[in-house]
Copies of this chain bind each other. A is one copy, B any other.
């Protein structure tokens, strides 16, 4: 479980745990059917309060991502993968919408926003086949 937690972020820690586990599932790092670390184990590993981990796991159960195996622990549900992918996609879309909305009511021109977007895309993605820059 390689989770990178930033305790100084505004985002609640339990929420960071939730999201990163969902991401790990969406990207295939965590396979449906596999067990996840116990509350105490993960808490010790991340140097966090066990309550924080417990809350994260509780949310993941409520979201239908994890399921309890009595006497054993928590397991990634079989349908978790698709749910995580969808949720992640929606999350990204929502972020995008908010960002673009603010940009559109700002003093920035569409071209400027597009330039910023392309710059960030190139930073994080390997260039796509034929279109790392737009044709104008």
**Chain A residues within 8 Å of B, Cβ to Cβ:** 7-8, 12-13, 23, 26-28, 49, 62, 67, 69-71, 85, 88-89, 91-93, 95-108, 110-111, 113-114, 116-117, 120-121, 123-126, 128, 130-131, 134-136
The one of B49, B93, B108 in contact with A92, judged by C-beta atoms closer than 8 angstroms, is B108
Q: Name the residue on B nearest A85 (C-beta).
A: B107
Q: Name the residue on B nearest A97 (C-beta).
A: B120
Q: In the complex, how many angstroms separate the beta carbon of A126 from the nearest chain B beta carbon?
A: 8
Main secondary structure on A side of the interface with B: helix
Central interface residue in A67, A99, A121, by most chain B CB within 10 Å: A99
Count of this chain's copies in the oligomeric assembly = 4
B110 and A128 contact, CB distance less than 8 A: yes
A97 to B99, alpha carbons, bound, how many Å? Answer: 10
Q: In the complex, how many angstroms separate the beta carbon of A35 from the nearest chain B beta carbon?
A: 14
A69 and B107 contact, CB distance less than 8 A: no
Q: In the complex, how many angstroms separate the beta carbon of A41 from the nearest chain B beta carbon?
A: 21
The one of B89, B95, B106, B131 in contact with A88, judged by C-beta atoms closer than 8 angstroms, is B106
What residues of B have a CB within 8 angstroms of the CB of A126 in the complex?
Answer: 110
Nearest 5 pairs of A and B residues by beta carbon: A104-B124, A95-B99, A110-B125, A100-B120, A110-B128
